[in-house]
Amino acid sequence: MKLLKVFLLISIFALVSCSNNKKKSADKPTDNTVSEMEDESDFIVDSDEEDLELSDSGDSLESDELISESSDDVQVMDGSDNSATISMTDGVSDYQIEKGDTLMLIAFKLYGDYRKWKSLQELNPGLSTGTLSEGGTLKYNEPSEKFVWSPEGLPYLIKTGDTLGTISNDKYGTTKKWKLLYDNNRPMIHDPNLIFAGFTLYYVPERDVASE
User: Is residue 160 a contact partner of residue 179, using CB atoms and an 8 Å limit?
Assistant: no
Please name which of 174, 156, 157 lies closest in space to residue 165, comparing C-alpha atoms: 174
Please name which of 113, 207, 195, 98 lies closest in space to residue 156, comparing C-alpha atoms: 195
Q: Render pLDDT for 97-138 as a digit per residue (tens, 0 to 9).
A: 999 899 999 999 999 999 999 999 999 998 887 889 999 999
Q: How confident is the model at residue 26 (pLDDT cuts 50, 70, 90)?
A: very low
Pick 56 or 143 by higher pLDDT: 143
41 has pLDDT over 70? no
Q: How confident is the model at residue 74 (pLDDT cuts 50, 70, 90)?
A: very low
61 has pLDDT over 70? no
Write down all domains in the chain, each with its CATH number in brackets: 88-143 (3.10.350.10), 154-211 (3.10.350.10)
Contacts 24+ apart (CB under 8 A), 82-85: 83/112, 83/186, 83/187, 85/112, 85/113
Q: Render pLDDT for 149-178 as a digit per residue (tens, 0 to 9).
A: 888 999 999 999 999 999 999 999 999 999
Contacts 24+ apart (CB under 8 A), 128-136: 128/103, 129/102, 129/103, 129/104, 132/97, 132/101, 132/102, 132/103, 133/97, 134/97, 134/98, 134/99, 134/101, 135/96, 135/97, 136/96, 136/97
